[in-house]
Amino acid sequence: MERKLIVTSSPHIRSKEATDKTMRDVVIALVPATLAGMYYFGFQTLIVVLLAVAAAMATEAIIQNIRKQPITVMDYSAAVTGLLLALNLPPEVTFWMPVVGSIFAIAIAKQAFGGLGHNFINPALAARVFLIASWPVEMTTWKFPVDAVTEATPLALIKGSRIVPESVSIFNMFIGKIGGCIGEVSALALLIGGIYLVYRGVISPRIPVAYMGTVAVLTLLYGGFNFNYMMFHLLAGGLVLGAIFMATDYVSSPMTAKGQIIYAVGCGLITVVIRLFGGYPGGVSFSILFMNVVTPLIDKYVKSNVFGGVKK
Amino acid sequence: MNLLSFRGGIHPPHSKEMTEHLPVEKALEPEIVVIPLQQHIGAPCKAIVEVGEKVKVGQKIGEAGGFVSAPVHSSISGTVKKIEKRMIINGTGTCIVIESDGLNEVHESVVPKGDVETLEPKEILDIINEAGIVGMGGAGFPTRVKLSPPPDKKIDVLILNGAECEPYLTSDHRLMLETPEDVVYGLRAVMRVLGLEKAYIAIENNKMDAVLSMKEAAKEFTGIQVVVVKTKYPQGSEKQLIYACSQREVPSGALPMDAGAVVSNVATMSAISKAIRTGMPLIERICTVTGDGIVEPKNIMIKNGTRISEIIAQAGGYKGEPGKLILGGPMMGFAQFTDDLPSTKTTSGVLVFTEEQARLPEPNPCIRCGKCVDICPSFIQPFAISAYSLNGMFDMAEKNNAMDCIECGSCSFICPSKRPLLHSIRMAKREILSKRRKTK
């Protein structure tokens, strides 16, 4: 028979899932938060977002070109990194900062370690921390939405206190009428995106729920069972953004369900410790980065029992 | 309804609609059959006929070559033309080539053996052995061996596998609809052999008509319970099905009998029923010929040794240029490079893909999404074993429980980066096994 039959080992069918579709879903899930940022902080946030995304994609393309690798900028993964970084920047940030941040994220945190799938820490968070460490003043100057007055974020206001100031409304914090980074202010918009990701099967709710749950329990205890205080901590700062979109980054989080819970509880614990006792007002970025580094260790030691294996 | 199931698994498209409503047709009489002496797991048979000898339908032509083995029989009457090495599924093997005389004369040994109620368990076991019956779900493990556990293994769970979780295949489905009483009769024989009062028939909930049909056929026998399991791949995998029905886990590295369980396929029961009631050994089976590369997909009753090219011709032939020819289902079946092969006792499906379907996507880097870990029904970590394997670190693959892989292919299916996960795990398993053999 002269027919050319293809012979491969089984299975002979593949699911329709693909990396670029997954990443595109993340972009879609971030649209509500991006729009909320624009609504509260104005048009210049769009420029920040576009600059960060463009810089990330350009850096990826250039480096892949130099490394003689296939150019994969259209797989949305660089776009997601740029977008996440932009959403983690103050709304009034000078326009070169998202560009510098994106170049750092892609060139240092991602491509230097081997590109997609090999970055041991979340590139967007690495870039954010790089920017905070290098330009602390620019990175912590906040604009309060609507009346455009520069003032402290809620987390800075509450530092060292166990009572929520009367000027802070939990409802405003939920919808996003507070100071903060472009994408972190509206918990509502972020939750919509998170529900979309869970619905699409892109993320499992394990990490966000365990992360926020840990923060909730610890702040409830610390605040003396003050429900308002707990809600404040859940909605303030980058917790919702971090828990849903950053801590769930595939590459830098553990693979097993058990490992993911340990990782998420670790994130929650460190976040609360930094917020309550540390020098920085917010602790989400640092806690996730720290747990990113712990991830290989978790993956090494936390394994599920094999089917029919000895129960421990 | 609370459906029985296991943890993990995937939901590939069923693709069964092409053939699930088509009654089984009888295939045309083959002019030539090519009967491999090895159609089962275990030792190949020894030919007991010679070139030029006349044979009849049901006549034994190959004697079992060991304890784990099963005899083969002629599926037609005619003359032995050749006994030679030929291409068979997954390699080459000695085959007996018989040319039909068109008479289909039945051999004298084919006489009814009695009734399941009056035959002794030992007698039933001998009938099963003599009829060359093997597991017809795909692996082809000799049924007599499966039904003869060592005395220290107490069997108390018997499950009939009617899950048919492989996409495209509908041969078991049609069997349960068309001759459910055969399945029940065979099951009663097996229950007698194992001395069991109870047995389950497990069927996925995408075949509710088969559930009703089996319930109707089994209604007089209170010990037989038809259970509905969730439609999920690999529900029909032995260990997963035992868990779904009895919540028992077969110990890692052990056999179902170590968990006190025996699982057998519904088609095997039908073959046992025929062997007892008519005396006819296993010489034919239902085969689903399907796929987008087939003109007229259908379920046909084929005689053992019919060439695959003839089977395809009877389903209208190839539609366009075929891209891939698979014997079995798309998840665990074997791709072939030619259709000049004989069918065997385990040929449950002939699946033809178009050129476009045949091409597998290019792999991308692993993004550590963890989907393979989430869905693995053996609870191992395909991504890690695969990475070790691809780097030649087979001892690490072994430490990461590579040998617990059941090769269901769910990981390769689900992977968004289209990585060759199962392929590389298989490679590791081979290396580990060959190392174990060397050190022994």
Contact B253, B404 (CB under 8 A): yes
Closest-approach residue (CA) in chain B for A8: B335
With CB atoms and an 8 Å threshold, state whether B373 touches A118.
no
| Spatial distance between the Cα atoms of B230 and B374, rounded to a whole number of angstroms | 18
Contact A257 B374 (CB under 8 A): yes
Residue B4 to residue B260: CA distance in whole angstroms: 19
pLDDT bucket at B278, cuts 50 / 70 / 90 = very high
Strand ordering across the sheet containing B32-36: B32-36, B91-100, B78-88, B54-55
In chain B, where are the structural domains located?
27-100, 121-277, 284-358, 371-439
| pLDDT at residue A149, rounded to an integer | 45
How close B425 comes to chain A (CA, Å)? 11
**How many whole angstroms from its chain centre is CA B428?**
24
d(CA A289, CA B370): 19
Identify whether the C-beta of residue A122 lies closer than 8 Å to the C-beta of residue A297.
Answer: no
What's the ipTM?
Answer: 0.88
A interface test, pick of B240, B373, B390 with most A CB neighbours within 10 Å: B373
What CA–CA distance (Å, rounded) separates B364 from A18?
9
Percentage of chain B surpassing pLDDT 70? 99
Give residue for tokens 């599926």.
B75
> Measuring CA to CA, which residue among A285, A32, A27 is closest to residue A182?
A32
- Give the closest of B254, B331, B366 to A117, CB-based: B366
Average pLDDT of the residues in B375-393: 95
Please answer yes or no on whether B335 and A21 come within 8 Å at the CB atom: no
User: For residue A3, is it within any domain?
Assistant: no
| A214, A37 Cβ separation under 8 angstroms | no
**Whether the predicted pLDDT of B106 surpasses 90:** yes
Q: What is the pLDDT of residues B131-184, one digit of tens each?
A: 999 999 878 899 999 999 998 889 999 999 999 999 999 999 999 999 999 999
Strand-by-strand arrangement of the B298-303 sheet: B25-26, B298-303, B284-290, B349-354, B322-327, B334-336
Sheet with B46-47, edge to edge strand ranges: B46-47, B60-63, B72-73
| Nearest chain A Cα distance for residue B16, angstroms | 14
Domain that holds residue A107: 19-301
A 49-108 near B (Cβ less than 8 A): 72, 77
* Contact residues on chain B for A5, CB-CB shorter than 8 A: 322-325, 335-338, 358
pLDDT at A217: 96
Res. A77 pLDDT band, cuts 50 70 90: very high
Give CA torsion, residues A267, A270, A276, A281, to 10 deg: -70
Range with the poorest average pLDDT among A139-148, B54-63, B196-205, B415-424: A139-148
Cβ <8 Å between B409 and A11: yes
- Does the CB of A9 have a partner CB in chain B at under 8 Å? yes
Question: CATH number, domain at A144?
Answer: 1.10.3430
Cβ count within 10 A of residue B399: 12
Alpha carbon distance A29, A193 (integer Å) = 4
* pLDDT, position A150: 45
| Domains: count for chain A | 1
Q: DSSP letters of B263-289?
A: EEEHHHHHHHHHHHHT---S-EEEEEE
A163 pLDDT tier (thresholds 50, 70, 90): confident
- CATH class entry, domain B27-100: mainly beta
Task: Determine, for residues A12 and B335 on separate chains, whether the beta-carbon distance falls below 8 Å.
Answer: yes
Q: Does A11 touch chain B if contact means CB atoms closer than 8 Å?
A: yes
Q: Which residue of A has its CA nearest to B321?
A: A3
A146 pLDDT band, cuts 50/70/90, is very low
Q: How far is A202 from chain B (nearest CA, A)?
A: 9
In angstroms, the separation between the Cα of residue A36 and the nearest Cα of chain B is 28
CATH class of domain segment(s) B284-358: alpha beta
Calculate the alpha carbon distances from B366 to A77, A116, B69 in Å. Answer: 13, 8, 42
pLDDT digits (tens, 9 = 90+) for B43-70: 999 999 999 999 999 999 999 988 999 9
Residue B421: closest C-alpha in chain A: A11
The CA distances from residue B260 to B16, B160, B246, B257, B397, in Å, are 33, 14, 10, 5, 29
Query: Does the residue A125 lie in any domain?
Result: yes
Integer Cα distance of B345 and B139 in angstroms: 10
Asked if A144 and A151 touch (Cβ cutoff 8 Å), the reply is yes
Contact B99, B79 (CB under 8 A): yes
Q: Measured between CB atoms, does A257 come within 8 Å of chain B?
A: yes
Average pLDDT, chain A: 89
CB contact under 8 A, B426 and A306: no
Alpha helices, DSSP H, located in B219-318:
238-246, 266-277, 308-314
Is the CB of B414 less than 8 angstroms away from the CB of A17?
yes
Q: How far is B352 from chain A (nearest CA, A)?
A: 10
Tell me whether residue A246 is in a domain. Answer: yes
Other C-beta atoms closer than 10 Å to the C-beta of B206 total 17
Check whether the bond before A11 is cis (ω within 30° of 0): yes
> Could you read off the pLDDT of A100-116 as tens digits, one per residue?
999 999 999 999 999 99
Mean pLDDT of chain B: 94
Tell me whether residue A12 is in a domain.
no
User: For the segment B184-193, what is each residue's pLDDT rounded down to a tens digit?
Assistant: 999 999 999 9
The pLDDT value given to residue A308: 84
Probe site for chain A from B90, B355, B356, B368 (most A CB atoms < 10 A): B368
Give every CB contact of residue B218 below 8 A, 6+ residues apart in sequence. B180, B184, B187, B201, B224, B226
DSSP letter for each residue of A220-262: HHHTTS-HHHHHHHHHSTTHHHIIIIITT-STTS-SSHHHHHH
CATH of the domain spanning B121-277, picked from 3.40.50.11540, 3.30.43.10, 3.30.70.580, 3.40.50.300: 3.40.50.11540
Q: Is there a contact between B234 and B408 (Cβ–Cβ < 8 Å)?
A: yes
- Predicted confidence at residue A83, as pLDDT, reads 97
Under 8 Å CB-to-CB from A16, ≥6 apart: which residues?
A: none
